[in-house]
Structure 1
Amino acid sequence: MFHLRLTCAFLAVLTLGMWREGGAGTLTKEQASHIARRLTQIHEKVKRLTLRVANASLSLQSMANTGFPAVLPATQATFVVPTEATQTQTAYACGESGTLQLSCEDGRTLLILDANYGRTSTDHACPCSSCRADCRAASSLSVMRRACQGEQQCAVQAAYYKFGGDPCRGVQKYLEVSYRCITESNVALRQPATASSYPTPWGPDKAVDGFRGTSVVANQCLHTEQLYQPWWKVDLGVHYTVNRVSVLNRGDCCGERLQNFQVRVGPNENFAQNGQCGETYTARPANGATIVVYCDQPMSGRYVSIQVIGRSVNLQFCEVEVFAEKAIRLVGGSLGNEGRVEVLHDNQWGTICDDDWDINDAHVVCRMLGYADAHEARSNAAFGIGTGPIWLDDVACSGTESSLADCYHRGFGNHNCGHTEDAGLVCSGLCPNPPVLYAASISGCGAPYSEGETCTYSCNTGYFMDGGSRTRTCSGAGTWSGSDLVCTRISCYWEGTAVFCNPGDCDWGRYVRSDKCGDGLCCWTGHKIYCCNA
């Protein structure tokens, strides 16, 4: 082991010396690069050999003590080998019952590029006594994508039953995954869509409106006329690198109509000319199911289409999400639609200076992130001070551009700012469904809940308003005004027809004091007085 390490050191010194001295025998850049790669490979082999020696030592010690070789325990640790040039990382867990754990920093999610449960190398850091190099569970990639893709972190046990069976009995296996941590978002939201045909209430825009209702009867979904191989298509506006497409099936009926569909991604408006993302979905989908189609490799394109193949049916689904890697993100906000603006350049995230930063610049960023527009532009590091480079300064958008790349700026890395001037924004967002409250009813509003939408609450019969807000309005920032209505159960104290506690214009929810209710509040409603059990 010592001699191998000494050889590596000697080669490194020799290479450096020849590069510096010049003259006859000088290495070319290509030769030096080749030697550097070989040194890296040798270093990895040294680490692997070290692990094997340690395991062999453990086994010999066990034989000395017990007469039996040690059974190597399943390794629970996950080993990660990053590759900076491509941002691709490789992680592996040794042992047939080890657990592979993957994670990304806040704001980034996992993109699974390749996976193998089995053994494809006899010269791997995970040792083996019974070795093969052709062992691979066919479901390796699909299992890892289902468990991890789009998540910030995940854990998968390297057990044969997780992968549909043992691909090579008696062979020491490992789970190995290649992945990247990316900034990913739904780029299809509220983008223009078309379909082969459709009755008026069930147009193609229903599939990208951001609402996840699953009822065709309630006009929440796309519903084409019955045609041979019906289709739907969305125009993303610009080219994105698409990783996966999620399709929400109709929930109130007829989910099988989506069987045998294909997803295509590409630059051509004629979607038949674009490449297919993943495999044709041939299973019979359940009502209301979410079906995720993973592209074999990330695909670049502006148009995404869904088409039923070989059947004459009504094409029906309720929401389509197209997930793509984006070079822009929001950091530091309390909600997903707000934060400090950061852009990815030269494989490094950096901020934007707030010089000339205004609502037009914010509009462009919000549309890049899938929102309709911006609610507010923020300056002076309103969402905290960033780190790393300041990539852009003096950004000047008209507000109609599809990308910051189309706006004027001083060039990447050229600025006269500090991080106390980091730019931020709040995007206009749809409000979530209004809260369902105990003993209360809601009226006067309906999804999708956009800016200005007002919902009215009332307490159910037998309950009175004991705090909170009767009306809630959706703000442009995607939050509801007011506070939750509190409804408290009341009991009735019957007073016949006598008006003994009428405070004048007493109405439901208006309270007075009454000696008939002890120290409790009461409310006069005509022929009854309600004691509120205070």
Structure 2
Amino acid sequence: YRVPNESSPNRGMVFNAAGTTQANVLSKYGGVIYAYTEKEVLLWRPTNGPVAYIGDRWGNGNSNQIANTAHVIIRVYHLREAECPYPETIGNATFNVTGVMNGDQTVYLCISGYSNVGGDLTRICESNRQWSGSVPACIDVSECPYPETVGNSTFKVTGLRYGDSIVYTCNSGYSHGGGNLTRVCSQKSQWSGIVPACIDDSECPYPETVGNATFNVTGLRYGDSTVYTCKPGYSHSSGDLTMICCRNGQWSGFVPTCKESKQQTKGSYEDIEEVLNNIRVQRKDTSAYRRSLISVKDKRLSSKVI
């Protein structure tokens, strides 16, 4: 409060409101008592004392003054509210923001050809200086192509937009043999995974027994195999040592055969004949034969002596 200008000697002096009072006949001390709400300020002055007493307590005895009136100065300070950060910009969308103070809002709008697939298109600035909800997303709403038909199966499709799915079911007597039975339309307008396959559940017959051979079979379903091995002393002569169970319930290739291996024993006729050929001397290569061609036999008795 301010001491009135017409008062002397402390005119114009300003004092903070006391907030309490000790005004009584003895102390002669008083002060403005105040209270306030959001809409008004309430003042009260003591009944048995002045509004202002400047004397032994206020002023140390200098410029003593007692005043029953005062000009009350009320200052109202408006504290700035906490701000939210400026809204985020998101792809494929525009937004309108009313402000960044508590209670203000931001409204997003996906552009043509895109749709909201998550987050909140409307967000409110809250007292904790944070936007409510989460950042929205706007994605391309182009359609995935119509699903492919798969042999020996049926399928059910929920739609052709992002997030839609197609579920294949193999017909009775057929089982899933590869690919994905469930596929989802992605943001790129493509189905996830690959086209499934449904194969015949028929079994291949149990493998044939082959003479002079053993075999190992992994199973009788599609993709299983049978591997034959010729016994010692026998070798593979025809057919297929490995056979695969096909989708039609038949084994691939042909049943193999194993025949006895040909082995020559030491001293066999062939070996002896070869040795004789190596040591045999042709008659035409002998010296006696060559002499007969250039000499005449002498029948005289004397030639026998010589």
User: Which of the five TM-score ranges fits, normalised by the shorter chain?
Assistant: under 0.3
TM-score (norm 1): 0.18
TM-score (norm 2): 0.27
Higher relative contact order at CA 8 Å, sep ≥6: structure 1 or structure 2? 1
Bigger proportion of residues as strand: 1
Which one has a bigger Cα radius of gyration? 2
Bigger proportion of residues as helix: 1
